[in-house]
Structure 1
Amino acid sequence: MKRRTVHLVFGVLSLCCAGAALERGLRLRQTTGLNAEIARIADAPAGKDATGIPLRSARELQLAQALALSKAGNHDAALKGYAGLLQNGERDLIAQQALFNLGNMYLRQGLAQQTGAVPLFELGKQRLRDLLRAAPQDWDARYNLERALRLAPEEQEAFSAEQQQSVEQRRVRVPGFVAGDLP
């Protein structure tokens, strides 16, 4: 009786370990295929006539396609790819990476242009701020936002010294009090 119980427990544990090993093997196979497809996308020449990844494919492949299009200079198609990843409102790791890449794409476009770069810098800063709202621990986004703020500083008109009155020049009026009531 005792031997049968030990064998039964050993058999159940063996089946659990075999199931876990099978699940890990399938996940490894899927990840290897996904990595091979991403490498193919990155190595393929992505020109102006690049074919898009179907919308039903993995989000990782869509991100890789958008990144390849951005690196190739096809910013309009890359913008559509990034927008497709962000339109669901999800803030998973893929969406965070898409926001980061989109912000960097706008900043690179702004650096490449001689005139009219301010709107691109503003779009890049906004995308990086959106990312930092979702993931405040992202130090790469903080660094890029700081660089963007140095390239295109924010307007500080509301806080300028010329527009603010000094404290001594302000008059405070309190209803119910006459000017001579207070010492």
Structure 2
Amino acid sequence: MKRRTVHLVFGVMSLCCAGIALERGLRLQRTEGLNAEIAHIAAAAVAKDASPAPVSAPRELQLAQALALSKAGAHDAALKGYAALIQAGERDPIAQQALFNLGNMYLRQGMAQEAGALPLFELGKQRLRDLLRASPQDWDARYNLERALRLAPEDHEAFSAEQQPAHEQRRVRVPGFVAGDLP
């Protein structure tokens, strides 16, 4: 009786270990396949008129395709790819990486242009701020935002003068009270 119980426990433990090993093997095979496809995307020359990866493709491949499009200079197609990743994910790591890459793409475009670069810097800073709201511990995004703020500083005086209401608008008037009643 005792021997049968020991063999039964050993059999159950062996089946559990085999199941875990099978699951890990399948996950490794899937990851190796994704890595091979990402390496193929990175090695292939991307044309400027290329389109982003289809939505049915794994999110990792969509991110790799959008990054390749961005590096090739097809910024409109890369923007579509990044936007699809950001909208589809609720701030998962791939959506956060897409936000980071999108912000960097805008900043690189702004640095490449001499005239009219300010809107691109503002878009890049906004994307990096969105990322930092979702993930405040992202030091790469903090660093890039600081660099963007040094390249295109914000004029706080202009904002504060416009946002402050006139002195008369701040005065509170309460019916039934005379101006000297309240301290």
Determine if the TM-score, normalized by the shorter chain, exceeds 0.5. Answer: yes
Percent identity over the alignment? 76
**1:152 matched to which residue of 2?**
152
Shift of 1:158: 4.2
Shift of 1:48: 1.5
4+ residue runs of structure 1 moved beyond 3 angstroms? 172-178
Query: 1:85 is paired with a residue of what secondary structure?
Result: helix
Higher helix share: 2
The 5 A counterparts of 1:129-140 are 129-140=129-140
Gaps of 5+ in 1: 164-171
Q: Distance in 2 between matches of 1:173 and 1:19?
A: 71
Give the partner amino acid of 2:68.
A
Query: 1:87 is paired with a residue of what secondary structure?
Result: helix
Offset from partner CA, 1:77-102 (integer Å, 9 cap, x none): 10010011112351100000000000
Q: Distance in 2 between matches of 1:173 and 1:159?
A: 21
Q: Distance in 2 between matches of 1:134 and 1:51?
A: 28
Check if 1:74 corresponds to 2:74. Answer: yes
Offset from partner CA, 1:92-151 (integer Å, 9 cap, x none): 000000000000000000000000000000000000000001000000000000110111
Check if 1:113 corresponds to 2:140. Answer: no
Contact 2:106 2:124 survives alignment (8 Å) = yes
Q: Under a length normalisation based on structure 1, what TM-score does the superposition of the two structures give?
A: 0.87
Shift of 1:52: 3.7
Q: Distance in 2 between matches of 1:124 and 1:53?
A: 23
Gaps of 5+ in 2: 165-170
Q: Under a length normalisation based on structure 2, what TM-score does the superposition of the two structures give?
A: 0.87
Shift of 1:55: 1.4
Q: Distance in 2 between matches of 1:10 and 1:101?
A: 50
**1:12 matched to which residue of 2?**
12
Give the partner amino acid of 2:77.
A
Query: 2:91 is paired with a residue of what secondary structure?
Result: coil
How many residues align structurally?
174
Contact 2:121 2:152 survives alignment (8 Å) = yes
The 5 A counterparts of 1:20-99 are 20-88=20-88, 90-99=90-99
Give the partner amino acid of 1:38.
I
